[in-house]
Structures are given as structure tokens and as C-alpha cells.
Amino acid sequence: MRRAPGALVRLAGCLILDAGPNYADYHVDISTTFPASGSFTARQGELYEAALAVHDACLANYRPGISFKQVGARVAAMLEEKGLEEIGIRIEDTVAITETGCENLSLGVPRTGAEIETLMRTDGILQVLRDRGLVRGE
């Protein structure tokens, strides 16, 4: 489902949004995957749910004393149990490791398939500006 930068996306595909801004030594990495058509196909939904399970497993394992490599090994084992190797879907959040686990610093980003499909049905800034007559064309 990954495409090269600048590649055309068919409506049957997915888009990966990977944002990694840095400001004053504060580094963020947030990624998510959207269906180009606005709705996941059955297979895309299945893969997305698998990726979301990986995301949730990572969050459940982040804590003091465990390395990123150790978390990765646990997640790789989980994927192997499910018969998956490369999902091709990215779901990443920025977290801070706390004394008891981790705090997700990017809460509010749509994560479930239903949340993403709802967002895809919502007018964005271009549609709002077009409806106000401030943008011409499609």
C-alpha cells in the first residue's frame, strides 16, 4: 500500500500521512493511514486492524527499562503468530515514557477504522472555502 512520493493514488489505494516536525529540540513523529476512497475495503480494514493491534501492543509495552528493540521483538513475534510480516500500514504516535508506562502525546488523532472513515466524510478546509466561493474549481 506504500507509494513513492509524488505517485498517483488510485481510489482503491491508501494514503500514508507521516508527519515529523521538530521544534526547539522537541521531536514528534505521527503517522496514520487513510483509504483514498474514504472507506476501507474489507482487506484494507483487516490489515488496518492488524496494524492498530501492533500500535496498541507497542503502547502497552513502552515503559522504563525496556528498549525500543525489545518492544519491536515482542511486536514481531505477535505479527508472526498472526501470519503477517509486512502490513504496509503505518500508525504511529509520539509518546513520553513515564514511571508507570507511557503517555500518548498525540491523543485525539483518529485511530480506529470507524474514526478515520468518519473523518473522511467530513468537509475539509478546501471544501469549506469552495462552498464560500473563495476557491474555484475542484
- DSSP per residue, 65-89: T--HHHHHHHHHHHHHHTT-S----
Q: Is 117 helix (H, G, I), strand (E, B) or coil?
A: helix
Is residue 71 scored above 80 in pLDDT?
yes
Is residue 51 scored above 60 in pLDDT?
yes
**Would you say 84 and 50 are in contact if contact means Cβ atoms under 8 Å apart?**
yes
Average pLDDT rounded to a whole number, residues 63-73: 93
pLDDT band at 98 (very low <50, low <70, confident <90, very high): very high
The DSSP output letter for 101 is: S
- Determine the Cα–Cα distance for residues 134 and 132; give it in Å rounded to an integer: 5
Sign of CA dihedral 34, 35, 36, 38: negative
Query: In residues, how long is the chain?
Result: 138
Q: Among 3.40.50.300, 3.30.450.40, 3.90.230.10, 1.10.10.10, what is the CATH number of 14-131?
A: 3.90.230.10
Long-range contacts formed by 43-49: CB under 8 A, 24+ apart: 44/1, 44/14, 45/113, 47/1, 47/87, 47/88, 47/89, 48/89, 48/113, 48/116, 49/113
- Determine the Cα–Cα distance for residues 42 and 129; give it in Å rounded to an integer: 33
pLDDT band at 111 (very low <50, low <70, confident <90, very high): very high
pLDDT band at 1 (very low <50, low <70, confident <90, very high): very low
Q: Is 126 helix (H, G, I), strand (E, B) or coil?
A: helix
Would you kindly state where each structural domain of the chain is located, as residue ranges? Answer: 14-131
Entry pTM: 0.78
pLDDT at 91: 92
pLDDT band at 132 (very low <50, low <70, confident <90, very high): confident
Average pLDDT rounded to a whole number, residues 92-103: 93
Is residue 130 scored above 80 in pLDDT?
no
Average pLDDT rounded to a whole number, residues 13-23: 85
